[in-house]
């Protein structure tokens, strides 16, 4: 019998082709929608490998529903806060992600959002489409300057650093806060490492690039928002719960910060109605890595991790070394 592989949703063809070659009998939820919890629990039963998406909550219950054959969960995302890594490690189940291949696409989107909120692009487009553009106006849609301003990077990992590097073209001053110094950013860009407080006080654009952990949840809360300049904008392409959305709605209403551009939300796909109601907020539906070639590379990477894990090889993007050490025997 072919090893049971379950894919939770259609992914780009190059990933599916790899899977088809290695595991021709793989199963897939062929509808383009997130499986209901009960369906997920049912579908994973007996699987040796699951190719999951960031929208699938893979916790102890799902791992146990899969049963004793499950050896690997390959997430098609760089973030893996949807997976209970500890529960997987405790059961000897390997977990992998797709780092690196989506760095540029996500950094590009952070900049697209920065421009969009600074220059009020979605708002002015709505105005035009509504037939309200009657003449050029000296006061029409005045926005914020970008060139020469200060960019604050919260979390200078791969994506945060790529966002920082793009600031070179706009003569921006770059501040960053990160657990460890990034000497290359300092020499390349003259970037300066600061505390989060100092960054929030000084930056004109604050861009979030932290993984979501219990420590980073709501790192941008009412207190943090109150430190921002009244003219500053917040950009989030990381994970929604980094920001306390209710606090952000209140802060925007109070005029500090001036705007926000968000690709991720606390309770996706729900968006706080207070954000939907505001013109000074730009909203996109979690499309950071959504380019054709990036998603294809992510799918291939996830498939390669899964195939390697099932072959008994150490998957290239293994997140839990403990699981490799005490990995489950092949069926
Ligand atoms: C996208 O959000 C990812 O983590 O890959």
Which of 58, 80, 82, 106 should be mutated for ligand 1, with most atoms under 8 A from CB?
A: 106
316 within 8 A of 308, measured Cβ to Cβ? yes
pLDDT at position 306, please?
A: 98
- Say how far apart CA 164 and CA 299 lie, in whole Å: 27
Q: Around Cβ 129, how many Cβ atoms within 10 Å?
A: 9
Q: How far is CA 46 from the centre of its chain?
A: 30
Q: Do domains 2-100+292-326 and 103-283 have the same CATH topology?
A: yes
CA dist list (Å): 275 to 93, 245, 262? 39, 8, 10
pLDDT at position 331, please?
A: 58
Nearest Cα residue to atom 5 of ligand 1: 77
Residues of the chain with pLDDT under 70: 1-2, 327-331
Distance 54 CA to ligand 1 centre (A): 7
Predicted confidence (pLDDT) per residue in 215-235, tens digit: 999 999 999 999 999 999 999
Distance 117 CA to ligand 1 centre (A): 22
Sole residue written with tokens 């054959």: 69
Predicted confidence (pLDDT) per residue in 241-299, tens digit: 999 999 999 999 999 999 999 999 999 999 999 999 999 999 999 999 999 999 999 99
- Specify the 3-state DSSP secondary structure of 207: strand
Q: Which atom of ligand 1 is nearest to the CA of 76?
A: 5
Q: Which atom of ligand 1 is nearest to the CA of 238?
A: 2
Distance 55 CA to ligand 1 centre (A): 10
Q: Which residues are catalytic?
A: 239, 268, 286
Q: Is the C-alpha dihedral spanning 311, 312, 314, 317 positive or negative?
A: positive
DSSP string, 141-202: T-----TT-EEEEES-SHHHHHHHHHGGGGT-EEEEE-SS--HHHHHHH--EE--HHHHHHH
pLDDT at position 298, please?
A: 98
Q: Is the C-alpha dihedral spanning 251, 257, 259, 260 positive or negative?
A: negative
Closest CA to 321 of 50, 84, 86, 53: 86
Which of 15, 52, 79, 302 should be mutated for ligand 1, with most atoms under 8 A from CB?
A: 79
- Say how far apart CA 118 and CA 112 lie, in whole Å: 10
Domain ranges of the chain: 2-100+292-326, 103-283
Q: Around Cβ 277, how many Cβ atoms within 10 Å?
A: 10
Confidence (pTM): 0.96
pLDDT at position 328, please?
A: 66
Nearest Cα residue to atom 1 of ligand 1: 77
Nearest Cα residue to atom 4 of ligand 1: 79
Distance 193 CA to ligand 1 centre (A): 25
Nearest Cα residue to atom 3 of ligand 1: 77
Distance 283 CA to ligand 1 centre (A): 17
Which of 53, 54, 213 should be mutated for ligand 1, with most atoms under 8 A from CB?
A: 54
pLDDT at position 289, please?
A: 98
Burial 45-80 (b: 16+ CB within 10 A, else e): eebbbbbbbbebebeeebbebbeebbbbbbbbbbbb
Residue 4 main-chain phi, psi, to 5 deg: -80, 115
Tokens of 241: 């719960």
Residue 215 buriedness (CB in 10 A; 0-12 / 13-18 / 19+): exposed
Candidate CATH numbers 2.70.50.60, 3.40.50.1000, 3.40.50.720, 3.30.540.10; the one for domain 103-283: 3.40.50.720
Tokens of 197: 């407080």
Architecture of the domain whose range is 2-100+292-326: 3-Layer(aba) Sandwich (3.40)
Ligand 1-lining residues (CB < 6 angstroms)? 54, 77-79, 102, 288-289
């Amino acid at each position: 019998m072919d090893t049971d592989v379950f894919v939770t949703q259609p992914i780009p063809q190059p990933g599916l082709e790899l899977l088809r070659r290695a595991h021709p009998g793989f199963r897939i939820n062929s509808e383009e929608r997130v499986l209901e919890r009960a369906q997920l629990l049912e579908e994973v039963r007996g699987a040796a490998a699951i190719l999951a998406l960031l929208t699938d909550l893979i916790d102890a219950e799902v791992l146990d529903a899969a049963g004793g054959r499950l050896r690997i969960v390959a997430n098609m995302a760089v973030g893996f806060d949807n997976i209970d890594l500890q529960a997987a490690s405790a059961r000897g189940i390997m977990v992998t992600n797709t780092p690196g291949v989506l760095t540029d696409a996500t950094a590009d989107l952070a900049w697209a959002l920065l421009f969009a909120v600074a220059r009020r692009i979605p708002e002015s487009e709505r105005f035009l489409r509504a037939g309200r553009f009657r003449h050029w106006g000296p006061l029409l849609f005045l926005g914020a300057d970008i060139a020469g301003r200060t960019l604050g990077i919260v979390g200078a990992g791969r994506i945060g650093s790529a966002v920082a590097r793009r600031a070179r073209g706009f003569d921006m001053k770059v501040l960053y806060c990160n657990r460890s110094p990034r000497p290359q950013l300092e020499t390349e860009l003259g970037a300066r490492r600061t505390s989060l407080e100092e960054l929030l006080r000084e930056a004109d654009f604050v861009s979030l690039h932290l993984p979501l952990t219990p420590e980073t949840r709501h790192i941008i809360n009412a207190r943090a928002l109150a430190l921002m300049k009244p003219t500053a904008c917040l950009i989030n392409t990381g994970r929604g719960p980094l920001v306390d959305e209710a606090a952000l709605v209140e802060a925007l209403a109070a005029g500090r910060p001036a705007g926000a551009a968000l690709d991720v939300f606390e309770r996706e796909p729900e968006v706080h109605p207070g954000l939907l109601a505001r013109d000074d907020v730009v909203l996109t539906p979690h499309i950071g890595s959504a380019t054709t070639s990036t998603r294809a590379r992510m799918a291939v990477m996830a498939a390669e991790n899964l195939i390697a894990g099932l072959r008994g090889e150490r998957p290239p993007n293994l997140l839990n070394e403990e699981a490799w050490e005490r990995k489950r025997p092949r069926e």
